[in-house]
Amino acid sequence: MEGFLFFAYYFCAATTAVSGVATCYTSIMRRTTLLALCIALFIPIICYFFVKYASEHNIEMPRHYLPDSIVNRVQDGKMMEDTVWHTVADIRLQNQLGDTVNLYDIHNKVILADFFFTSCASICPTLTKNMVKLQRSFAIGGDRFHKIDTSVVQFVSFSIDPERDSAQRLKAYADRFGVNHDNWWFLTGNKDSIYNFIFEQLKVDKYSDEPIDPNFAHTSRYVLIDKMHQIRGYYDGTDSASLGKLAKDIGLLMVEKATNPEPLPFDPVVMAIFLAITIVIVVIGVRLLFRKKTINT
């Protein structure tokens, strides 16, 4: 994306330069024209870096939760502190289609998790309905009748009554709400493993005034996990304001840069040299045209 922006601005600069040369050739050549041409070349580049800086410093990303440790390092002679955030461990369970899946099977997706059981008659249906709305909001082209883009978010619902919630019951429950199975897992398995994951890894009882029974994790909370498997938010799945913030945070995490981003599609140093050479060529060309015009007159 950065490469595209840079080349887009550079294309504008080159186009402006050509226009400037044509103007110089057809009008009276003055030093102010040459100055204007140089300014026209530099303004798009300056704008690019300004927009890049503003976009990186004015967007408030969803916060991290659960710091594991603090690491000290020295940078430019100064002592710096880096927080090591809790990374959710992997877990292996069975989904509603009877497939054995691992959390770490999910690559390059934001994960949204909730907790339910199929015989629930209170908040669970509301949680599922609201999550269905979120899933359908990713319909391609914004049309809910179109295919859903399943490459962005993975929805995961953990059964808190896994001893009774078999894969068959999970699928019947999901089908009742019109769930798209391509990017939504309803999970069952060993109860101890699930509950240890809920409380020790996802920490659903933290940052909330809502009491949660450790023996029956019945909660209205959604948990948002980023692409690095780090927790980035807790939300009330029954509250419209909280759901609005969740939708915004998902959008931000979708475009968040990785800790180790991929290199730019071009070498900035080489591009700077190329730009400088281009400017020199344009300036020399303008001066030659100016001399030719002077001789002819």
Domain boundary assignment for the chain? 2-60+268-296, 91-254
Q: Which CATH superfamily is domain 91-254 in?
A: Glutaredoxin (3.40.30.10)
pLDDT at 26: 47
Long-range interactions of 118-125: CB distance < 8 A, separation 24+: 118/159, 118/161, 118/164, 118/165, 118/169, 118/170, 118/172, 118/173, 119/161, 119/164, 120/218, 123/218, 123/220, 123/237, 123/238, 125/177
Contact 222/208 with Cβ under 8 angstroms? Answer: no
Average pLDDT, the chain: 81
R_g of the chain computed on alpha carbons: 28
DSSP label of 201 = I
Question: What's the confidence (pLDDT) of residue 191?
Answer: 97
- For residue 11, pLDDT over 60 is answered with no
Lowest average pLDDT, out of 6-15, 61-70, 160-169, goes to: 6-15
pLDDT, position 4: 45
Strands (E), the chain: 67-75, 78-85, 92-94, 100-102, 110-116, 153-159, 184-187, 221-225, 231-236
| pTM for the full predicted model | 0.68
pLDDT greater than 50 at residue 5: no
* pLDDT reported for residue 82: 84
Summarised one tens digit per residue, pLDDT across range 69-86 is 888 877 777 877 888 899
Question: What's CA 249's distance to the chain center, in Å?
Answer: 9
| Residue 254: pLDDT over 70 | yes
Is the confidence at residue 293, as pLDDT, over 70?
no
Is-contact 212 205, C-beta < 8 A? yes
Residue 247: predicted pLDDT: 95
- Token reading at 197: 């994951």
pLDDT above 50 (res 197) = yes
**CB contact at 8 A, 139 and 181:** no
Q: What is the pLDDT at residue 58?
A: 57
Provide the percentage of residues in the chain whose pLDDT is more than 90.
53
Q: For the segment 140-156, what is each residue's pLDDT rounded down to a tens digit? A: 765 666 688 999 999 99
Q: Specify whether the CB–CB gap between 157 and 186 falls below 8 A.
A: yes
